[in-house]
Amino acid sequence: MSFSPRLAIATHCVKPRLARCRLSPQPLRTFSTTTPQLSSHPSPTASATPSSRKKVTIGTLNKLWRQGTPITMLTAYDYPSALLADRAGMETVLVGDSLAMVALGYENTNRITLDEMLHHCRAVSRGSRHAFLIGDLPFGTYETSPSQAITSATRMIREGRMEAVKLEGGTEMQDTISSLTRVGISVLGHVGLTPQRATSLGGFRVQGKTAAGAVRLLKDALAVQEAGAFAVVIEAVPELVATELTKRLKIPTIGIGAGSGCSGQVLVGMDMLGVYDKLQPKFCKTYAEVGKITVDAYRAFGEEVKHRTFPVSEVHTYPMGKEEEAKFLEAIKNL
């Protein structure tokens, strides 16, 4: 069964037409409130509260998994979203290729290049101090051969400053994942609905809905585990199937549209913030109406500018000494 039109406007979908569904410590930054901010671009670290949180590692994730504590993952695409996800205590941050659609406005995720991903990964790494950082390998950068995957993943780690890579696929990607993990690159697998292959899957469809499909899904997840992945994303799969997979795997499963039986959950940041004025997929919960709040704020600014009620002289402007003011006015009198 394919997604209904409502479900088809999936996690990455920002356009009305059908689109795809849809984890090096940094120095602690402090901010002095005594220094006036003259820059028009004050650092969003301004209200960050330094915390004693430890840097999340794969060891931390394994510990959470062993304890049966659900693992949290959010996508982030830039410095502020990484900063806020980190401040909210997300254990893992994924720079998903969903950024192609939700941050760059492409019509699907297959358009994004590795260089574009790397640009965003670096911004996310600058905003994140604690979360474990995972970069998605985009379409066309890892499928050809294990050596292509190693080259791309190395760039993701070295240039993108990510700690692990994610790639889509099951049994057919086992050799590639093995090659990556053999050379010390941590891999997050991704099975079920793999949006980079949506066309060959016949669209954005829930996977594993038949007994045979569900068995194939288990084999895919086992192959990913066998290849050494530290965890696996399961996307758009019936809850019972994802729960059974989770019980049989010895690595954490991170669900998106796969129910509550997974070892953790991931959502696309922009979707759960209601940034876009579109229907969300069934599995997405909108935690805040950031889109509406933002438009309301922009509108209020626009109106205040039109009515000259912003800026307010006493509040938003810089004073000049009376004497200098008089001298200045005198100096320009005849200019």
Binding site for ligand KIV (CB under 6 A): 11, 22, 75, 94, 96-98, 136, 233, 256, 266, 268
Closest CB to ligand KIV among residues 137, 309: 137
161 close to 132: Cβ distance less than 8 angstroms: no
273 close to 290: Cβ distance less than 8 angstroms: yes
Query: In the complex, what is the shortest distance from the CB of residue 96 to ligand KIV, in angstroms, rounded to a whole number?
Result: 2
Query: In the complex, what is the shortest distance from the CB of residue 299 to ligand KIV, in angstroms, rounded to a whole number?
Result: 30
* Residue 254: count of CB within 10 angstroms of its CB: 29
Beta bridge partners of 233: 190, 254
Which residue's Cβ lies closest to ligand KIV?
Answer: 96
Residue 62 backbone zone (phi > 0: left; psi -120 to 50: alpha; other: beta): alpha
Catalytic residue among 235, 239, 304, 330: 235
Length of the chain, please?
A: 335
Contacts of 224 (CB under 8 A, 6+ apart): 170, 173, 174, 177, 189, 191, 232
User: Locate tokens 């993108």: which residue?
Assistant: 160
Closest CB to ligand KIV among residues 61, 94: 94
Closest CB to ligand KIV among residues 192, 228: 192
Query: In the complex, what is the shortest distance from the CB of residue 95 to ligand KIV, in angstroms, rounded to a whole number?
Result: 8
Query: In the complex, what is the shortest distance from the CB of residue 311 to ligand KIV, in angstroms, rounded to a whole number?
Result: 39
SS3 assignment, position 154? helix
20 close to 101: Cβ distance less than 8 angstroms: yes
Closest CB to ligand KIV among residues 227, 233: 233
- Burial class from Cβ neighbours inside 10 Å (0-12, 13-18, 19+) for residue 129 reads buried
Any catalytic annotation for residue 235? yes
Query: In the complex, what is the shortest distance from the CB of residue 64 to ligand KIV, in angstroms, rounded to a whole number?
Result: 18
Closest CB to ligand KIV among residues 94, 214: 94
Query: In the complex, what is the shortest distance from the CB of residue 22 to ligand KIV, in angstroms, rounded to a whole number?
Result: 5
Query: In the complex, what is the shortest distance from the CB of residue 268 to ligand KIV, in angstroms, rounded to a whole number?
Result: 5
The per-residue DSSP string of 17-74 comes to: S---------PPP---TTS----SS--GGGGPPP--PPPP-HHHHHHHHHHTPPEEEE
Closest CB to ligand KIV among residues 285, 322: 285
The per-residue DSSP string of 181-233 comes to: HHTT--EEEEEES-GGGTTTTTSSB-S--SHHHHHHHHHHHHHHHHTT-SEEE
Q: CA 121, 20, 168, 218 torsion: positive or negative?
A: positive
Closest CB to ligand KIV among residues 56, 268: 268
Active site residues: 235
